[in-house]
Amino acid sequence: MGRVVNLVCTVITGEVTEFLWARDGQLIRNMGKSRIQDNPVSSFLTIRDIEPSDAGNYTCVAKNSFSEDRMSARLNVEGPPLWASDPQKEVVATLNQPLDVKCDVISYPQATITWQRVDLGDNTHLPSETDGTLRLPNVSRDDVGTYKCTAKNTLGEISKEVKVVVRGKA
């Protein structure tokens, strides 16, 4: 994509002996598309080729021998929905037990997630949780089939099909 983001962390008084950067609690190293440059009172985090998967809560920690302080900022990256993890192609449910099937996407602006039962031919939208989870509260043999999750925002759309199979005796 070629876009660059620069985050700056500056202390007002005193010198800092160490700056640390983290995204969603994971330490960022000075490698790949992330570059960190420090001086005694500031730290600069540059992220090149920004993409939606770079979104998150960025935290700068400034330390010296007397104290530690931190500053956080949320980075949102506009783009079409992307899968947060590899979508499941098949899930195994247990008869008479609940089943939750996730439609886990990264999206800004936020995606609208819908579920459909596609193997019955009517493509009726099914109710889902606010986080995009399809919940089957008490699985029966009638729930066996193919379901489609669609995530859509103003910048694009993705979809996946998930086959639900059942184990257990009726």
pTM, full prediction: 0.74
What's residue 169's pLDDT?
66
Q: CATH number, domain at 104?
A: 2.60.40.10
What's residue 170's pLDDT?
54
Do residue 94 and residue 163 come from a single domain?
Answer: yes
Q: How many domains does the chain have?
A: 2
Do residue 113 and residue 71 come from a single domain?
Answer: no
Domain end, chosen from 75, 103, 132, is at 75
Do residue 43 and residue 122 come from a single domain?
Answer: no
Domain end, chosen from 52, 75, 98, is at 75
Do residue 19 and residue 52 come from a single domain?
Answer: yes
What is d(CA 110, CA 108) in angstroms, rounded to the nearest whole number? 5
Contact 58, 19 (CB under 8 A): no
Residues whose CB is less than 8 angstroms from the CB of residue 82 and which lie 6 or more positions away in sequence, other chains included: 52, 53, 105, 106, 107, 158
What's residue 131's pLDDT?
87
Do residue 98 and residue 53 come from a single domain?
Answer: no
Residue 45 structural domain: 5-75
Structure tokens at 90: 């098949």
Q: Kindly give the confidence (pLDDT) of every residue in the chain, 170 residues in length, as a single tens digit, with 9 standing for 90 and above.
A: 579 999 999 988 777 789 999 999 999 998 899 999 999 889 999 999 998 889 999 999 999 888 899 999 999 999 999 998 888 899 999 999 999 999 999 999 999 999 999 988 766 778 888 888 999 999 999 999 999 999 999 999 999 999 999 987 65
What is d(CA 34, CA 110) in angstroms, rounded to the nearest whole number? 25
Structure tokens at 32: 């790949």
Domain end, chosen from 30, 46, 75, is at 75
Structure tokens at 53: 């998967």
